[in-house]
Structure 1
Amino acid sequence: MGGRVEYVQGDATAPQGKGVKIVAHVCNDLGGWGKGFVVAVSRRWAEPEAAYRRWHRERAGNDFGLGAVQLVQVERYVWVANMIGQRGMRTARSTGVPVRYEAIDTALATLGDHALRLGASVHMPRIGCGLAGGRWERVEPLVVARLAERSVAVTVYDR
C-alpha cells in the first residue's frame, strides 16, 4: 500500500472501509469554524468543533498554532484530526491565500504518527484547497510523503 492515495466520489465524513479511521481536515489559526468542510463535520459530530474552539480559547497554555494537530475521537473507530494549516481567513479585501503548505506538511507528519500508532487509515477532502485557496498539486505530494509512503492508507473524497 506504500505510496498510493485512493480517490473516490463521496463524503469524507462518511469514511469507507474497515478498521480505525481518521477524518483529516484543515482549520485556520483564528478560531473560526463555520464555512467549508467543517460544516459537514459539525453536521455529523459536535465534538470536533467544541474541541477546536476550546483548543483555540486555551491556546496560551497549549500547542494551538500553525502545524498543530488535535485528534478528537467521535465514534468507537473514528477520529477527526483538526489540523491548523491556514493563516487567517479569506475576506473580500484580502490578497493572497490563507493556506500554509509548510504548516500542512508539519501537521501531516504528526497525523502520520497518530495513524501508525492507532493502526488507522486516513480519509480527507482535498485539504487546504477549498476556502484556504491552496492547490492540490502542492498538497498531494505532502500527503504522499507524510502518509502514503509511510504505509498509511489514504482515501481522498471528491463530492
Structure 2
Amino acid sequence: MVVSHARTNNSLFYYKCDNIEFLKGCGQLYTEFDDGVATRQINIINNDMYSSSSLHDWNEDVGFLLYDGHIDSLDLSDSVPITQLEFENKWQEGIVANKSQINYLKGDASLPLEEQTLIIHVVNILGKWGKGFVLSLSKQFPFAKNEYVKWSKDKETFGLGEVQFVCVDQQRATFVANMLAQHGVRKNDKDHTTYIDYDALRLCLRKVARFALINRLSIQMPKIGSGLAGGDWEEIEKIINEELIYYKIKCTVFEL
C-alpha cells in the first residue's frame, strides 16, 4: 500500500507545435507535461479544436487525443515552449467548444466503478472518523481510515487544505483521497453548523486534480461536504466544476 501527500507543483511545462501530422491532415498541438507526463492536450485541425486529459479520448480526424508516454521519449525539436497562460487561454477555448459535466449516479461511492479510480471525500481536522460516508468507505478499505488516524497525529502536515492520497488496491490502481476541509463534527440532529471550509475544499480539489491527471485516474465521490459537514451543495458543485471538470477529468457523484 502507498501513502502520499500532495506535492508543491513546480514541474509543469508547456509546448506548442504548429505543424503536427494527424490522421487526416496537419494542425496544431498544445501539450501540458506534469513531471514529464503528458496530462492535458489540445489538438487543432481544420479550425476544429479537441481538448483532452484522458487516454481514452479518440477522434477519427486526429486519432488519440492525449499522448501516452513520457516527455523523454518525445522529439520536441519542432515544438516551442510556451507559457502556462498561453496554454490555459487555448484550453478555455476548447472546453467551451467541448463542455464536460459531472455525472450523477445513485449508489455507494465507496465501490469503484472501474480500475484507475480516485475516491475522494472530506475529513475533519479533529482526527475523528465515525459517521456518514466514512462508515462505508472504511468497510471497503480499512487502510484508508488507519492512515487518516495516523496522519492526524502529525501536526506538521495535518491541516486544512491538505490531502492524503492512499493506495488501497495496487492491482486495480484504486486510491482514496482524504481531504482536510472540515473544521469539526456534527454534535446532534439539531446541530446545523456549517463545518465545511470552502476555501480549504477548493485547495484540496486543486491538489486532487493534479494527482488524478498525472496518474490517469477518474474521480468518484459522495456529495462531499453537504451532509454532516453542513455545506451548500450548489456552492460545492460550483467549486467541483471549477477545479475538476475544468480539467476534463471524468467525475462521478453518487447520491444515496
**Would the TM-score normalized by the shorter structure come out above 0.5?**
yes
Which of residues 172, 177, 186 in structure 2 aligns to 1:90? 186
Q: Closer, same or farther in 2 for the Cα pair 1:58/1:149, shift >3 Å?
A: same
Tell me the SS of whatever aligns to 1:73.
strand
Which of residues 151, 158, 162 in structure 2 aligns to 1:64? 158
Question: How far off its partner does 1:109 sit?
Answer: 0.5
2:116 aligned partner: 20
TM-score (norm 1): 0.92
The CA RMSD over aligned residues, in Å, is 1.5
More helix, by proportion: 1
Matches of residues 8-87 of structure 1 in structure 2 within 5 Å?
A: 8-17=105-114, 19-59=115-155, 61=156, 63-76=157-170, 77-87=173-183
Tell me the SS of whatever aligns to 1:57.
coil
Question: Who wins on radius of gyration, i.e. which is larger?
Answer: 2
- Listed one character per residue, the Cα deviations across residues 2-49 of structure 1 (whole Å, up to 9, x for unaligned) are 5311001111111213x4100000000110001111111111111111
Amino acid at match of 1:16: L
Question: How far off its partner does 1:94 sit?
Answer: 5.8
In 2, the alpha carbon distance for the partners of 1:34 and 1:89 equals 10
Question: Unaligned 5+ residue runs, structure 2?
Answer: 1-51, 53-98
Q: Which has the higher contact order (CA 8 A, sep 6+)?
A: 1
Amino acid at match of 2:180: I
The reply to whether residue 143 of structure 1 matches residue 237 of structure 2 is no
Tell me the SS of whatever aligns to 2:193.
coil
2:225 aligned partner: 128
Tell me the SS of whatever aligns to 1:122.
strand
Which of residues 190, 198, 211 in structure 2 aligns to 1:101? 198
TM-score (norm 2): 0.58
**Percent sequence identity over aligned pairs:** 35
More strand, by proportion: 2
2:10 aligned partner: none
Question: Unaligned 5+ residue runs, structure 1?
Answer: none
Question: How far off its partner does 1:95 sit?
Answer: 6.2
